[in-house]
Chains A and B, each alone.
Chain A
């Protein structure tokens, strides 16, 4: 049996190789496009639009919310719009390959739903001038590439109002992903919202340096609760923080999508983005041929940002405070970032009556007063 070890070695290597390639094939096969609506033999050819997601649509978070938006928007156009999606597309060179592939399949509209697809989108957009490219949360545009984003910090602000009213320890916790303006804005908005109803509130922040790492998110949530934080919000994409709060008998919020089902006792409300509101506009622009490269940032006013599934057990005055703030965001009497704003070192970062515009919001690199610690940076 042991006469030909070399043959065995080769055989073993083959098996090993086979399993390696099997693994690759699987990855390629797994994100198969969803069965799109059957191409109707209509007179006018339908608009073919494809979405690429960074996570699985079942993540109950970011990609899930994106996919809900796709379905809602497409449903409004019947057979005039045909959509498909590819999930779990890594940010980087693979994304470019997937985008090119989708264009080759005849898609006239490509939605890339994560920041890291930006370079790939810019590159491919140049090569296909007759295809509309739409990129979520980016900042680069081209004649056939435009960007869109939700004002998520408005949702964080509304969550903050609930947290400020409900906290017993006056200590809130925030599980943060990466120290970029978007996330810092949310931490600040959460704190400002809480301070608007309860000036004594402090916020503790823990960075996990990941968008999606449930065990780490759990550990981070645990350490925040261990140190007295009794209401948590997260800028990470899984349900782990909410579930950790449920186990510990504390409160938390859903993020990206309605997460109430994951923690019936801990869930105070969910900060959601309704991407469908924008996708509807995008489809219409393309069908009407009124598509222009522009930058769209929509919030509560436009119905893209929202705070939903407010827990039934909340006192009426808390529910009312949230409703009032929501109304205020809609009619412009409430704004999240309004001068004077002082950072947690005592420096004024926005003077009274100074405008907090998108440029200012895009460069947020500080914690507002009441957030503990220092913003991590290389400096």
Chain B
């Protein structure tokens, strides 16, 4: 029983970086821009966050630095694809490769350095509850904030005027432009929010989750987050659930191994992507789903006034 509680707890923390980045990419894609640079953005943010944590010892500051680095890289990406109308897929891939190399380069001096370790955080009183304590109440604050992020994102997208404008730009940028909305500026803002959230996720990995920096340490989590947006059919609550599902699959695999049940870890690595393909097939067979959720202008260039 206690083992199960610990598995739930580990799942929540393993799913957290995926959920944060996935939520950022959701906002990003809802406005009609596809940013394949998530992996590189997360790496740049991870090294920035680690550097700040190393020099200041302040976790909150480190996460903010990660967000800032992510937003800056996203701004560059946004400028390229929104103003220069470069191909979103190619530019995103370039950002990803650039981020991998750049983070490794600036991070050379931080490899193998260590941060001051904090014990496992927990909420007093609640942490002592049987089962629920170890499962839910012994987590880093970011884990709880992430759970809050999903309803907030949903609220913003579906219940505010700004969210409506954002979604309408993702659906029909020409129409939004005709109504007088600054399509490109709003797109840039959304792309930067997406980058900032990817940045928080990257910094969380290098500062909280595995407090160390090493080249390539994001290890594909950016790509899983991208897959997650499709898997969740662009809905915030499903992003959160999907993240815990994918995080849980990894933890479950280790858990089973430790119990002597062998599951090929390669299979688990493949799982998020396989699930994404299945979802893609499903939604492409259901026109209503696509109309409801997938932003119609996703990945398409927009030329105002043309």
A206 and B105 contact, CB distance less than 8 A: no
Instruction: State the majority secondary structure of interface residues on A.
Output: helix
Contacts of A16 in B (CB 8 A): 80, 86, 90-91, 94
A223 and B254 contact, CB distance less than 8 A: yes
B6 to A, closest residue via Cβ: A226
Contacts of B108 in A (CB 8 A): 30, 56, 58
B10 and A88 contact, CB distance less than 8 A: no
Across the interface, A22 reaches (CB within 8 A) one of B98, B211, B212, namely B98
A8 and B84 contact, CB distance less than 8 A: yes
State whether the Cβ of A373 lies closer than 8 Å to any Cβ in chain B. yes
B215 and A56 contact, CB distance less than 8 A: yes
Q: What 0/1 pattern do residues 249 to 266 of B give for CB contact below 8 A with A? A: 011001101111110111
Take A207-B257, A215-B209, A226-B6 as given contacts and tell me if A5 and B100 are in contact as well, using a CB distance cutoff of 8 Å. Answer: no
B4 to A, closest residue via Cβ: A226
B214 to A, closest residue via Cβ: A214
Take A214-B217, A220-B254, A243-B211 as given contacts and tell me if A23 and B98 are in contact as well, using a CB distance cutoff of 8 Å. Answer: yes
Take A219-B14, A240-B210 as given contacts and tell me if A12 and B87 are in contact as well, using a CB distance cutoff of 8 Å. Answer: yes
Those of A221-273 within 8 Å (CB) of chain B = 222-224, 226-227, 229, 238-240, 243, 246-249, 261-263
Contacts of A12 in B (CB 8 A): 80-81, 84-87, 91
Contacts of B83 in A (CB 8 A): 8
Q: From residue A294, how far is it (CB to closest CB) to chain B in Å?
A: 33
Cα A81 to Cα B113 with chains together (Å): 30
State whether the Cβ of A354 lies closer than 8 Å to any Cβ in chain B. no
State whether the Cβ of B111 lies closer than 8 Å to any Cβ in chain A. yes
State whether the Cβ of A127 lies closer than 8 Å to any Cβ in chain B. no
Across the interface, A20 reaches (CB within 8 A) one of B86, B97, B254, namely B97
State whether the Cβ of B45 lies closer than 8 Å to any Cβ in chain A. no
Across the interface, A223 reaches (CB within 8 A) one of B95, B104, B255, namely B255
A215 and B219 contact, CB distance less than 8 A: yes
Q: From residue B302, how far is it (CB to closest CB) to chain A in Å?
A: 10
B101 and A26 contact, CB distance less than 8 A: yes
A27 and B90 contact, CB distance less than 8 A: no
Across the interface, B255 reaches (CB within 8 A) one of A216, A226, A239, namely A226
A263 to B, closest residue via Cβ: B117
Those of B16-53 within 8 Å (CB) of chain A = none
Q: From residue A134, how far is it (CB to closest CB) to chain B in Å?
A: 25
Most buried by A among B3, B97, B104, B257: B257
Residues of A in contact with B, size category = 35 or more
Contacts of A376 in B (CB 8 A): 262, 264
State whether the Cβ of A168 lies closer than 8 Å to any Cβ in chain B. no
Cα A239 to Cα B258 with chains together (Å): 20
Contacts of B81 in A (CB 8 A): 12
State whether the Cβ of A201 lies closer than 8 Å to any Cβ in chain B. no
Those of A202-216 within 8 Å (CB) of chain B = 204-209, 212-216
B87 and A219 contact, CB distance less than 8 A: no
A261 and B114 contact, CB distance less than 8 A: yes
Contacts of A23 in B (CB 8 A): 97-98, 100-102
Cα A262 to Cα B304 with chains together (Å): 55
Contacts of B306 in A (CB 8 A): 2
B98 and A19 contact, CB distance less than 8 A: yes
State whether the Cβ of A200 lies closer than 8 Å to any Cβ in chain B. no
B101 and A219 contact, CB distance less than 8 A: no
Contacts of A220 in B (CB 8 A): 254
Those of A159-183 within 8 Å (CB) of chain B = 173
State whether the Cβ of B119 lies closer than 8 Å to any Cβ in chain A. yes
B215 and A88 contact, CB distance less than 8 A: yes
Q: From residue B51, how far is it (CB to closest CB) to chain A in Å?
A: 14
Cα A102 to Cα B293 with chains together (Å): 56
Cα A24 to Cα B102 with chains together (Å): 10
Contacts of B10 in A (CB 8 A): 219, 222-223, 226
State whether the Cβ of A42 lies closer than 8 Å to any Cβ in chain B. no
Contacts of B258 in A (CB 8 A): 173, 204-206, 223-224, 226-227, 229, 372
Q: From residue B2, how far is it (CB to closest CB) to chain A in Å?
A: 8
Contacts of B7 in A (CB 8 A): 223, 226
A214 and B104 contact, CB distance less than 8 A: no
Most buried by B among A215, A216, A261: A215
B266 to A, closest residue via Cβ: A209
Take A12-B85, A222-B10 as given contacts and tell me if A215 and B3 are in contact as well, using a CB distance cutoff of 8 Å. Answer: no
Contacts of A114 in B (CB 8 A): none
Contacts of A239 in B (CB 8 A): 112, 114, 212
A243 and B104 contact, CB distance less than 8 A: no
A19 and B94 contact, CB distance less than 8 A: yes
State whether the Cβ of A60 lies closer than 8 Å to any Cβ in chain B. yes
Cα A223 to Cα B9 with chains together (Å): 11
B205 and A9 contact, CB distance less than 8 A: no
Cα A224 to Cα B253 with chains together (Å): 12
A226 to B, closest residue via Cβ: B6
State whether the Cβ of B158 lies closer than 8 Å to any Cβ in chain A. no
Cα A229 to Cα B218 with chains together (Å): 27
Contacts of B303 in A (CB 8 A): 2, 5
Cα A217 to Cα B215 with chains together (Å): 15
Cα A175 to Cα B283 with chains together (Å): 40
B254 and A13 contact, CB distance less than 8 A: no
Q: From residue B164, how far is it (CB to closest CB) to chain A in Å?
A: 26
Q: From residue B265, how far is it (CB to closest CB) to chain A in Å?
A: 5
Contacts of A20 in B (CB 8 A): 94, 97-98
Q: Please list 8 pairs of residues, one from A and one from B, whose beta carbons are closer than 8 Å in the complex, sorted by A's number.
A: A12-B80, A12-B86, A19-B97, A30-B105, A59-B111, A243-B212, A247-B119, A372-B260
Known contacts A16-B80, A20-B94, A204-B259; 13 further A-B pairs (Cβ under 8 A): A11-B84, A12-B87, A13-B90, A22-B98, A23-B101, A30-B104, A59-B111, A216-B219, A223-B10, A224-B258, A243-B211, A372-B258, A373-B262
